């Protein structure tokens, strides 16, 4: 009879162990963070439509490229897309980009008088678009530095386009 009691206790202990498994509790889905950026067929540049609204335009370059390359392409104009730019045409399109935590700083070959407020938005949206596609945070801001000192160069901006 003692053997049966010992066997029954052993089976109960084994059953209790199996029912509690390894102690891992079920949880909901875990946040995986930002989606990977993948391979880009080109770069998105922001131009202006007839209603004075920013519109993205994919420039098929075969790759995403850098922020500097994207803004340089933007400065070359919209081509035959039916859109226009609020940035004065320039012959020099070299753009210098530096990044700091939370901030993308751009030095453009323009004076503040060469670009409207909407033109500044074109630069900011193009730069931040590439920044995010390259793995940067959607919360980062851009600062556009002009060739002549201007209060506009001190402003930190986000892209107003949807």
Indicate whether this model's pTM tops 0.95. no
* 35 or 116: which leads in pLDDT: 116
- When pLDDT is averaged across residues 99-124 and rounded to a whole number, the result is 96
Our CA dihedral for 91, 109, 65, 46, rounded to 10 degrees, sits at -90
Residue 121, helix vs strand vs coil: helix
Q: Is the pLDDT of residue 39 over 70?
A: no
Q: Angle at the Cα of 154 (from 45 to 66), degrees rounded to 5? A: 30
Residue 11 structure tokens: 């089976």
Q: How confident is the model at residue 90 (pLDDT cuts 50, 70, 90)?
A: very high
pLDDT value at residue 77: 94
Closest-CA residue to 94 (of 79, 109, 106):
109
Query: Which of 159, 142, 68 is CA-nearest to residue 109?
Result: 68
pLDDT at 109: 96
């Amino acid at each position: 009879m003692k053997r049966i009691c010992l066997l029954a206790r052993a089976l109960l202990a084994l059953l209790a162990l199996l029912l509690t498994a390894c102690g891992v509790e079920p949880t909901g889905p875990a946040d995986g963070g930002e989606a990977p950026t993948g391979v880009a067929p080109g770069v998105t540049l922001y131009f202006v439509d007839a209603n004075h609204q920013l519109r993205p335009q994919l420039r098929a370059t075969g790759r995403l490229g850098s922020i500097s390359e994207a803004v340089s392409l933007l400065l070359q104009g919209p081509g035959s897309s039916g859109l226009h730019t609020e940035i004065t045409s320039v012959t020099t399109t070299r753009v210098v980009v530096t990044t700091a935590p939370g901030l993308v700083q751009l030095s453009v070959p323009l004076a503040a008088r060469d670009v409207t407020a909407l033109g500044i938005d074109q630069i900011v949206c193009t730069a931040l678009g590439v920044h995010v596609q390259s793995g940067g945070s959607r919360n980062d801001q851009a600062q556009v530095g002009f060739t002549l000192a201007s209060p506009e160069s001190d402003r930190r901006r986000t892209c107003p386009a949807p």
